[in-house]
Amino acid sequence: MLKMTRRHLMALASAALVSGAVMGTAQAQETIKVGVLHSLSGTMAISETTLKDVMLMLIEEQNRKGGLLGKKLEAVVVDPASNWPLFAEKARELISQNKVAAVFGCWTSVSRKSVLPVFKELNSILFYPVQYEGEESERNVFYTGAAPNQQAIPAVDYLAKEEKVERWVLAGTDYVYPRTTNKILEAYLKSKGVKSEDIMINYTPFGHSDWQTIVADIKKFGSAGKKTAVVSTINGDANVPFYKELANQGVKATDIPVVAFSVGEEELAGIDTKPLVGHLAAWNYFQSVDTPDNKAFIEKWKAFTKNDKRVTNDPMEAHVIGFNMWVKAVEKAGSTDPDKVIDAIVGVEVPNLTGGVSKMLPNHHITKPVLIGEIKEDGQFETVSQTDALVPGDAWSKYLEGSKDMIADWKDLKCGNYNTVTKKCGA
């Protein structure tokens, strides 16, 4: 039998203390990782960089409140560089290698479509903060941006009623969101009696810069004696030369108004807004909204960025709503486990920045107000129309064959494309 000397005992005790201290440090340093998947370079950086920044602010603010489930949150930021296949690679990296609890990211629908198989395969969660074309409801995705019935259709209704528009130019970037949204809008306009010859549809590639011919065609289309408007789903930095060319050819908002779905305060910051004054945008939030919650948010944003000139915008608010919903769902579930969070989040309500309370619906969309804003010279928006109540987001369009009979319900039906006629869940 070995004899333990006093020196041996002290050495063992010291080792135990060191081991305990190391384990304690490891436990103290354990964090809940949050993925941030936004383009910080390429054509979409003009829009997405600020969404990365607001996520860092929200995570920092939550950590000041004590974190989540007794742990600090840690942001893991990657740059998919406006490269749609790279979004999928970076999403897999975040989930498989970095072990993030949830991901906040994407802007374009093509980037979202790129990552969907990854989130389904690895059973992780994506919060998607940008307006999109609908026609989708995935168990692993929460859509905190606007569906078409929360942006595109109300914008067309406003133009028809208030501006007496009869001819329509549907101009978009050539990818899934503009094409599907315009398909919905074309069907909607025709259901309202608009004739095919009064609808002009045009698509251009990402980063398109030569607008001379297209704007000339728009002018010609608008010279038929009927009030004409442009409904714009042009995305990213292509908006800058588009509006410049409108001004160059003397197209004023009073003549042919443009209502944009992808131009917000961030895109207007730092450019000459004089050519844009009077044109419109449809969103669910504007920086100019006068509520106590919004004022507090703007103050926090400017303090965080240490820049009084930094602006806020609609997709930022969508990240605020989505992040706060995720926090509440994790607290409710007592876990970051995706299955538990997915079940817990339906029905969760959090304040939005326009003065209402947004709710996560069983179709994984949320309730939102709809605002139409007129661009002012300072790059801000003056709200000219706002819905009285919050509008529930529709996953499936009522105006498209093959969609009008569909609903999504992940609470009771456990299905994203349930056919109410056949009573079956689609593939």
- DSSP per-residue codes, 227-247: -EEEEEE--GGGHHHHHHHHH
What the block records as the tokens of 345 is 């989040």
State the Cα–Cα distance between residues 409 and 427, nearest whole angstrom.
15
Asked if the structure places residue 347 within a domain, the reply is: yes
Both 87 and 134 in one domain: the answer is yes
Residue for token pair 């930021």: 77
Both 213 and 348 in one domain: the answer is no
- So what's the pLDDT on residue 20? 41
Buried b (16+ CB within 10 A) or exposed e, 53-77: bbbbbbbeebbeeebbeebebbbbb
State pTM to two decimals: 0.89
Continuous segment of H or E residues that includes residue 103: strand 102-105
SS3 125: coil
Check whether 364 has a pLDDT greater than 90: yes
Asked if the structure places residue 153 within a domain, the reply is: yes
Residue 231: which of 200, 210, 208 has the closest Cα? 200
Both 55 and 138 in one domain: the answer is yes
Both 337 and 378 in one domain: the answer is no
Asked if the structure places residue 329 within a domain, the reply is: yes
DSSP 42: S
By residue count, the chain amounts to: 427
Check whether 279 has a pLDDT greater than 60: yes
Going by C-beta distance under 8 Å and a sequence separation of 6 or more, which residues neighbour residue 210?
Answer: 241
pLDDT digits (tens, 9 = 90+) for 212-232: 999 999 999 999 999 999 999
- When the pLDDT of each residue in the chain is averaged and rounded to a whole number, the result is 92
Both 185 and 36 in one domain: the answer is no
Asked if the structure places residue 218 within a domain, the reply is: yes
Looking at the chain, the whole-number percentage of residues with pLDDT higher than 70 is 93
Least confident of 9-18, 62-71, 118-127, 203-212: 9-18
Asked if the structure places residue 14 within a domain, the reply is: no
Interior CA angle at 220 toward 215 and 225, to 5°?
Answer: 130
With beta carbons less than 8 A apart as the criterion, state whether 223 and 255 touch: no
Asked if the structure places residue 16 within a domain, the reply is: no
Both 75 and 115 in one domain: the answer is yes
- So what's the pLDDT on residue 274? 86
CA dist 197 → 194, 201, 219, 331 (Å) = 8, 11, 15, 54
Both 376 and 228 in one domain: the answer is yes
Asked if the structure places residue 423 within a domain, the reply is: no
Both 135 and 153 in one domain: the answer is no
| Number of domains present in the structure of the chain | 2
Both 165 and 270 in one domain: the answer is yes
Averaged pLDDT for residues 315-334: 98
In terms of residue numbers, what domain contains 189? Answer: 149-289+372-386
Both 36 and 73 in one domain: the answer is yes
Averaged pLDDT for residues 352-368: 97
Asked if the structure places residue 124 within a domain, the reply is: yes
Strand partners, 78: 37
Both 248 and 376 in one domain: the answer is yes
pLDDT digits (tens, 9 = 90+) for 162-177: 999 999 999 999 999 9
Angle between helices 176-191 and 109-122 (to 10 degrees): 110
Residue 144: which of 404, 312, 315, 318 has the closest Cα? 318
Both 378 and 233 in one domain: the answer is yes
Check whether 237 has a pLDDT greater than 70: yes
| CATH number of residue 89's parent domain | 3.40.50.2300
